[in-house]
Each structure stands twice: as C-alpha cells, then as structure tokens.
Structure 1
Amino acid sequence: MPIRSPRGRAAAYRAVWQWPLRSPARLAVSVLVLGTLVFGLVHLGGQVGGGASGGGPADGQQGERWDAGGSGVSATPTPTMLPPVAGLTPEALPLDQAPAPALEVARVWASAWVNHPDGITSQQWLAGLRPYTTDEFLGVLANVDPVNIPASRVTGPATPTRVAPKSVEVAVPTDTLRLTILVVDTDAGWKVSRYDRA
C-alpha cells in the first residue's frame, strides 16, 4: 500500500535513516557497508577511467617518444615534446686548485669588512669594499651599519672550503667569528658575491 500523506513519507524516511542509530552494531554494519560501496565505486571508476584514457596514445596514433639512449625519435614528431635533459651537477674541483687571486680577494675583502673605526660612515665603509664586491652585492651591503659588525681584525689566512671553475667558497677567521665568503669570477676579475657569519 503506497504512502499517501507527507506525514507518512516523513515517518518512513525517518525510520530508514534512524535504523543505523538504534544500536552500535547496526551503526558499525552501516559504516562498513557504506565504506565498501564507496571503495568499490572509486576502484571501478579508476579502472573505467584508466581503460578509457590508457595513459598513452590511442590505436593508430603515434606520439613522439625519445628513447633512453638519446638516439632520436621513434615516430612522427610533435612540437610539444622535448628531448631529455641531463641532470645538472656542479663541477667540484679539489681544494688545492683554488685560484690564488680568489683567495687574495677574499682576504682583502674580509680585512675591509672588519675595518670600521669609530666615526666611520656607511659610505666610507662601502668604499673600502667596493673594489672587491659585485655591484649586486654592494646594494645588499648598503643596508649594513658598520657599527653592528662585531669583528675588528682578521686572525688567520683565507682557506678554500669549496672550489668550482667559476667560484670559490673561502673561510676567513676573525677575532670574534669566522666569515664564509663566496668569490665569483666576473668580467672584472674575482669579486665577492656573498658572505655568511659562522
């Protein structure tokens, strides 16, 4: 017999959604059945979607594919494909191959960095660093107040810690901390492009 009144329908719907809440066992069974249904639908959808797309070109169509040996393409080229690019690995050199001019620039730069007698202005301090510093890094150093530099003298030689064909990382000890200075080869010679306090 069909339900003819809105009250009867509401009661029927209420009975359906309240059924799982009448006991913990019913609730557990309902959650399990619902989870199984959702998992099944997702799994079935993944298989149907994967089968439709296939993850590759359709039958009769060939896209460009580069082989692992880099010998070329195996079919009609398309403009969207690019050849594989070899991984970029920086060329490291032995520490004893650090260029002497780079080490000298790091030493002189560190000496100018710690040179901040009382009354020196930022412009005077920067003028001492300018010949040994890249233009880009000079802009960063312009924000440094020499009064805040804790070191007052260099206490040891400049020693390389990393060496590459166009850059050298150099450690320079001072009386309060150790500077790690990056010196790069520019058109105007070796220049400092960064430093860190260690």
Structure 2
Amino acid sequence: MPIRSSRGRAGAYRAVWQWPLRSPARLAVTVVVLGGLVFGLVSLGGSGGAASGGLIAGGGSGGNRWDSGSSGVSATPTPTLLPPVPELTPEALPVSRAPRQALETARVWASAWVNHPDGTTSQQWVAGLRPYTTDEFLGVLAGVDPSNVPASRVTGPATATRVAARSVEATVPTDTLTLRILVVDTEAGWKVSRYDRA
C-alpha cells in the first residue's frame, strides 16, 4: 500500500495553486500574467482567423489552380469587358408640343389645390386632388395641412415650360404665387406627380 505524503504529486500541485494566495502581491502578479496570456491568445486567434479567412476566401480559386494545374489549363481569370452604357438624356420636345390634356390637368389640379375654405379637413382637400394626382404623390399630400396653402384662386391658364414624350412641366399662376407642376402620362391618363413654387 503506497504511503501518501505532502511531497508527492498532489503536494506539488497544491504548492502551485497556493503560491498566489499567500500574499496580495503574488495574487496581483498572477492575475496580470494570466491576463496577458489570455490577451495574447485572443489576439493571435483573431489574426489567425483573419489569415485563415483570407485563405478560405481565396480557397476556391486556389482549388481551381490546383485542379487546372493538374489538367494543364491556366487558371488566370480573364477580365470581362462590358459595353459602354450610353448616357441617359431625356428627349426634350418643343414647348408648343405640350398635350392640351396635360395642361388642362395642371390647371384643374391647381384649382383643387387652392380650394380650401375654412374648416376643410386634410382628407377633404386630398379627396379633391385625388382624380388628378398619382397615387404615390397622394401619400405626400396627405400630410399637408390645407390651412397652410397660401393661395385661394387660380388667376391664369397653365403654361408649358418643359415638354418630354410622357411628361410636361407647367406653371399656373395664383393670387399669391406661381405653381410649377409636373404632369406625367400614366395608364389612367395625365396626372400630377410633383409641384413646387416657381
């Protein structure tokens, strides 16, 4: 039967574990050394992961090189040249070519825009604009308070300022300002998609 003593393997382990606990200075040194080791391992693991990530990212092409080398075919990628894309420029038409329906839509929309007697709710005001406005722009107009619209009447006809194949920009004068209105050709006819102050 073996004789157990404090000089055996367990005693050696016990001495190692008890050494830091014998004084606060030893404990502090132990914590600093262990912290440094952990930090070093983590930083090495991070850079090793990045290196391995680089190898993984390039692994597909490296594998291709190995396979193509064995078959005698070069694996150098050939750059693909795309044809140049022509610059998109809208085709402008003479102002005299503005469709009458587009100008009429701009005028009628402006008349509905200035129509906001006292007590008109936002829903009522937007309902008057709805037949002449695109669905996307109606969402913007729904957030407008009609009491903030400064004009109260249209004072002249709509005049085209820019004309394209499927859009017309027109100005409409009111009693306080001039509106710049963009009318676009949709499946449902000419509709206003934007306005601003001229």
TM-score bracket relative to the smaller structure: 0.5 to 0.7
Report the equivalent of 1:39.
Answer: none
- How far apart are the structure 2 equivalents of 1:90 and 1:120? 39
User: Number of residues paired by the alignment?
Assistant: 122
Q: CA deviation at 1:79?
A: 6.5
Report the equivalent of 1:137.
Answer: 137
Query: Which ranges in structure 1 are unaligned for 5 or more consecutive residues?
Result: 1-76
Aligned AA (2:195): Y
Alpha-carbon distance change, 100 to 81 in structure 1, aligned in 2, over 3 angstroms: same
Report the equivalent of 1:123.
Answer: 123
Report the equivalent of 2:159.
Answer: 159
Residues 138-161 of structure 1: CA deviation (Å, up to 9, x unaligned): 000001000000000000010000
Structure with more of its chain in helix, by fraction = 2
Q: Write out aligned runs for 1:1-198 (5 A).
A: 78=78, 80-198=80-198
Aligned AA (1:170): A
Identity %: 82
Alpha-carbon distance change, 78 to 134 in structure 1, aligned in 2, over 3 angstroms: farther
Aligned AA (1:162): R
Aligned AA (1:120): T
Deviates more, 1:84-93 or 1:170-179: 84-93
Residues 43-64 of structure 1: CA deviation (Å, up to 9, x unaligned): xxxxxxxxxxxxxxxxxxxxxx
The alignment yields a C-alpha RMSD, in angstroms, of 1.3
Alpha-carbon distance change, 86 to 133 in structure 1, aligned in 2, over 3 angstroms: same
Alpha-carbon distance change, 78 to 109 in structure 1, aligned in 2, over 3 angstroms: farther
Aligned AA (1:197): R
Aligned AA (1:80): T
Q: CA deviation at 1:78?
A: 4.9
Alpha-carbon distance change, 78 to 153 in structure 1, aligned in 2, over 3 angstroms: farther
Larger Rg, first or second structure (1 or 2): 2
SS in 1 for 2:115: coil
Q: CA deviation at 1:122?
A: 0.5
Alpha-carbon distance change, 78 to 84 in structure 1, aligned in 2, over 3 angstroms: farther
- How far apart are the structure 1 equivalents of 2:134 and 2:107? 16
- How far apart are the structure 2 equivalents of 1:80 and 1:197? 48
Residues 97-145 of structure 1: CA deviation (Å, up to 9, x unaligned): 0000000000000000000001111100000000000000000000100
Deviates more, 1:84-93 or 1:145-154: 84-93
Write out the 4+ residue segments of structure 1 that deviate beyond 3 Å after TM superposition: 77-80
Q: CA deviation at 1:87?
A: 1.6
Taking structure 1 as the reference length, what is the TM-score of the superposition? 0.60
- How far apart are the structure 2 equivalents of 1:191 and 1:92? 19
Aligned AA (2:173): P
SS in 1 for 2:120: coil
Q: CA deviation at 1:81?
A: 2.0
Aligned AA (1:176): T
